[in-house]
Amino acid sequence: MGLTSNKVLALAAAAAVLLFAATVWLWPRLAHRGPRAVAGRVALLLATQLSLFAAVGLAANNSFLFYGSWADLFGRQQDMGVVVDHSQGTHLKVVEKQRPGVPGASRPETGGQIHKVVVSGAKSGIDSPAYVYLPPEYFHAEHRDRTFPAAVVLTGYPGTAENLLKGLKYPRTAHEQAKDGRMQPMILVMLRPTVAPPRDTECVDVPGGPKTETFFAEDLPRAVSETYRVGTRARNWGFMGNSTGGYCALKIAMHHPERFSAGVGLSAYYKAAEDPTTGDLFHGDDRARERADLLWSLDHLPQGRSSFLVTTSRQGEGNLEGTRAFIKKVKAPARVSSIVLDSGGHNFNTWRREIPPALAWLAGRLSPS
């Protein structure tokens, strides 16, 4: 059974309850001063606490998906490497095809399909795994010549792309929204912003280091458009993410309006972090540091025709003031919208409340052709 399996969680919870009951039942019999009685009490307390800790830890992991598998938990990587043939001009390699967790998923025509891929950056030199969600309409015979809008979706740092599938349920939400007529069918390209792990590059081109901005702004949409029926114009592409991914989404959409027409930042911050996880991102280049400050960019750089959606909460989020400042600084021809919850923390529960309307908003600003 997998680490995130509900059966594992149920077994751990049952074990904790049984051990607690056993402790209550056996405690009077162990109320002696002898070595065996003391050892029995210690063993019962230790076993009960460990089982309770395991149950709480599994529940937290199922909610936030810190680890996607037992191998991930114990630091063992089981996936084999994938060879990408650059000489043949291949920039995206499909590694595996999966069924999304939606009704009718046994057939792509009814449930859509998820492709696990490796994207090879021609300009950046970065290779990164990703997941591509294809909606059911992509497989309909009457749509075989139709192009679809696409959105890049990023996790926060140091999250995994699996969080977007299992924890935040982007494919299921997109499927339900389209089925209910709240949004047009849209392709989702899901990955984490950490394309040079374990370093957090904040989606910037680091001098002498990873060219993360080039990868997201140029290589990724090019590779996807070469492989799937997605247009290459800005109106065909959007960008979306939470936390660090939200900062990246706003940054890339702001600085590359020729590539992306809309950006969504869920609980985003507005200035590149600089800490031990990032290292030296700018190497003394003050202009690059200023450009990575989105509020500075809005004040000092031309604003394109991009549309932005930002989210925050009146209580529980640390980005409330920054979000208000961002909204005030956006000027025509750019446009800005917002979602402001009464309360909500920097967590999956908050983002699950924002993703459905945010996806509908994003799809409404993209064109399939």
Give tens-digit pLDDT for 269-280: 999 999 999 999
Rounded distance between C-alpha atoms, residue 249 and residue 360, angstroms: 16
Give tens-digit pLDDT for 230-264: 999 999 999 999 999 999 999 999 999 999 999 99
SS3 content of the chain, % helix, strand, coil (to 5): 45, 20, 40
The four Cα atoms 245, 249, 251, 254 give a dihedral, to 10 degrees, of -170
Kindly report the pTM of this predicted structure.
0.78
Looking at residue 83, its pLDDT comes to: 45
Q: With H, G, I as helix, E, B as strand and everything else as coil, classify residue 240.
A: strand
Per-residue confidence band for 76, with pLDDT thresholds at 50, 70 and 90: low
Looking at residue 80, its pLDDT comes to: 43
Rounded distance between C-alpha atoms, residue 287 and residue 264, angstroms: 25
| Least-confidence region, from 166-170, 235-239, 293-297 | 166-170
Looking at residue 191, its pLDDT comes to: 95
| Least-confidence region, from 46-55, 186-195, 307-316 | 46-55
Give tens-digit pLDDT for 1-30: 667 677 888 888 888 888 888 888 888 877
Residue 159 has pLDDT above 90, yes or no: no
Query: Rounded mean pLDDT of 123-142?
Result: 94
Looking at residue 81, its pLDDT comes to: 47
Residue 311 has pLDDT above 50, yes or no: yes
